[in-house]
Amino acid sequence: MQEQEKIFKIVAIGESSVGKTSLIRRYIYNHFSDEESATIGAVFVEKSLIVDKKRVRLQIWDTAGQEKFHAVAKIYYQKADAALLVYDITSADSFSTLQNWNEEVKVNTSKDILRVIVGTKLDLIEEEQVHPKTASDYAREAKALFHQTSAKANRGINELFEHVCLELIKRENSKPEPLTNLSAKSSVLLGEPPAPKKSSCDC
């Protein structure tokens, strides 16, 4: 019997123009453009792949970073398995607001969501305003993973998503077996009271 495909929902979150769309387009289509338009609301894409000999389907939501779309974007966080908290390494402002995005994710998702701090535009290292140690230290404090990427140079993107998949698979495998999978006999032993004894009294 073929193993069931694992489906994981991933949301990309961060300020406008940090490169969320470019990151996702490079991963899904192996395409990059310097003229990506701003995302309105959210855009949904899928990708199926094999990771650690397991069939995985990623459902990736690219959310808008503009203030006016924040209320709508929160809808897309729900039931997410992982959140990519994206900042631009050439913009200190985009990193300084990351804590706000992180808090928003924690409020609007389950407490065990996998969070990843993702620096973009690594090809512009000469314009760097956020040192990788600063970002990695923050990730450690936030109990999140940390990756740096470049959509333009196609650096670190496959590694990012592969790491996310492996971590989600590991978490999935460590979950306890649900009670619904127990046999009927077991459920009787656990949940049903014993049948009442018949009385031998004729009164």
Query: Which CATH number is 6-191 given?
Result: 3.40.50.300
Residue range 22-53, pLDDT digits in tens: 999 999 999 998 765 555 456 889 999 999 88
**Model confidence pLDDT, tens digit, residues 93-142:** 999 999 888 988 888 887 789 999 999 999 999 999 999 999 999 999 99
CB contact set of 178 (below 8 Å; sequence gap of 6+): none
- Beta strand pairing call for 54-63 and 42-51: antiparallel
| Block residue for tokens 């535009």 | 121
Mean pLDDT value across residues 71-89: 84
Domain residue extents for the chain: 6-191
Residue keyed to tokens 């990519």: 84
